[in-house]
Structure 1
Amino acid sequence: MATIVRGQRMPFGPIVNDVSGPATTHKQVGGEGVCRWKMLMNGMHLEGEWNCVEYVVIEPGASVGEHVHMRTEEIYYIVSGRAVVTMNDVKLDAQPGDLITTPIGAAHSIANEGTEDMHFFVIEVFPGEGPAAEPAQVHVPDLLGAVDGLRRADVDLAPHFTGDWRRFSLVELPGGGSLAETTSAESTEVLHVLTGSAEFVVDGRTYTGQAGLSVAVPPQIPWSVVNTDGTAPLSLISTQVDVR
């Protein structure tokens, strides 16, 4: 969240992390089996009403037990494997590419009933005012379309929450392809590599990595990404949250 010092909002620089070195959790939130969990970014280091950015792996037969967030709103993005998400007693079969929204107050759990590890990306944001929306499930790859030499899908998050959520995007760059943007003055953006090899340049600094690399870009900062593999595509997701 933005930090105020002597009456002025103090800006933050980029944050970079990856999914290596997760903690091992047992019976997470009363669930079953083993999960591997890592906080990629603490919301106190991001401008805006972020709570956290996380990456979770649920082993076969394991689960995160049913729980209710009373202070945050949340998204899940299924990276690999299959999941069963129970949301307000309704079971949702989720597959890679599914975005699940969890409004404040919704009771939810997530389980891996398959035979391989299930990976998912998590963001929690503090809420605003007004009534909670209904939970939603969106298969984001179905929305992909060609835009300026790449494929892109955008989901407007604002109707699904009360907080300052702006947009969730899935971007696919062809081998050797690139993308250059500047975050708006009103939002912070978190980028996460799903597949492929990437080189990011953020505010003049270069960061390289593969699947699992996460980069946070503060407001009004130029950034670019290059697919460093000349043949295989690069796939990444982006989440934007407004700064009040």
Structure 2
Amino acid sequence: MRPDLQISDLGSPSDVHGVHGAAGVTQWRSLAAGRGLRGPYEAVEWACVPPGGLSGEHLHSRTEEAYVLLSGRGEALLNGAPHPVRAGEVILTGLGATHGLRNTGSGPLSWLTLEVPAPRTMALAHTPWKDAPMAEPRTGEAVVVDLGELRDVDPRPTLQGPLRRIRLLELGPGASEALPGRGAEHTVFVLSGAGTATSGSGDVTVREGMSVTASGGEDLTVTASTAGLRAVCASFVVGSPHGRETGL
């Protein structure tokens, strides 16, 4: 790991049994975590279940979450209602919502998980316990959006926290995408192709199945090779959500 970047790939994922109470095995890999980043709230992970596999239904009482579906087909259970889903779609799950995900296809179902504490959770974490208000029961919102069609998704108002943008980047041969770091952190996960990620301390070669996460304040430029590059880019605001978000 370099001080300004977290660089990960999908090599040697862990086998996790009984995820959220479900039977079976899920493959899992942490791609970026709060350690080494300016915003300690990000968790970027990769998960995969085989045909018939299930990530069990569970309540989001503390965090908000986005699933970016990378491969396969499945059925998402959102607040108890089934929704067919497929690669290229994003499942947004707000605070107080429930979700689960089953693989209904013939091949692996894989996704990126983008998880952050909700603003209420962050506020309570800095409030003395005697002054903390009682939790108010509420059902949050959970929706499915088509990233392949929209190409640029603003998670709000379903999500209220620091995840502010999910984009599909398609760069032709030699093309570049600049991601300014002021007030923001960015994670780029390469779907296909190859290229170079450039930060203040040099270049890193990236390829399919790799992710690069830049810490807050660090500019990042992604440049495609001669074969082009497709990637998912998730952007998080660092600091006050009401501050200037020049990197987004």
If the length of structure 1 is used for normalisation, what is the TM-score? 0.84
Pick one of 191, 205, 209 that aligns with 1:212.
209
Q: Taking structure 1 as reference, are residues 107 and 132 closer, same or farther at Cα in structure 2, changes over 3 Å only?
A: closer
Mapping 1:9-48, distance limit 5 Å: 13-48=4-39
Query: Could you say which residue in structure 2 is the equivalent of 1:7?
Result: none
In 1, the alpha carbon distance for the partners of 2:41 and 2:86 equals 26
> What is the aligned length?
221
In 2, the alpha carbon distance for the partners of 1:49 and 1:69 equals 19
Letter in 2 for 1:115: S
Pick one of 226, 229, 239 that aligns with 2:234.
239
Q: Does 1:117 pair with 2:117?
A: no
Task: Give ranges in structure 2 of 5+ residues lacking alignment.
Answer: 122-137, 240-248
Q: Does 1:127 pair with 2:125?
A: no
Q: Taking structure 1 as reference, are residues 30 and 17 closer, same or farther at Cα in structure 2, changes over 3 Å only?
A: same
Query: Could you say which residue in structure 1 is the equivalent of 2:55?
Result: 64
In 1, the alpha carbon distance for the partners of 2:19 and 2:200 equals 38
After TM superposition, give the deviation of residue 69 of structure 1 in Å: 2.2
After TM superposition, give the deviation of residue 141 of structure 1 in Å: 1.4
Pick one of 166, 169, 179 that aligns with 1:168.
166
In 2, the alpha carbon distance for the partners of 1:133 and 1:174 equals 39
In 1, the alpha carbon distance for the partners of 2:217 and 2:90 equals 27
What is the aligned-residue identity percentage? 29
Letter in 2 for 1:175: P
Query: Could you say which residue in structure 1 is the equivalent of 2:145?
Result: 138
Mapping 1:129-208, distance limit 5 Å: 129=120, 134-143=141-150, 153-183=151-181, 185-208=182-205
After TM superposition, give the deviation of residue 167 of structure 1 in Å: 1.1
Query: Could you say which residue in structure 2 is the equivalent of 1:3?
Result: none
3-state SS of 1:159 partner: coil
In 2, the alpha carbon distance for the partners of 1:104 and 1:243 equals 20
Query: Could you say which residue in structure 1 is the equivalent of 2:126?
Result: none
Contact (CA 8 Å) 1:49, 1:125: kept in 2 or not?
Answer: no
3-state SS of 1:160 partner: coil
In 2, the alpha carbon distance for the partners of 1:13 and 1:217 equals 6
3-state SS of 2:15 partner: strand
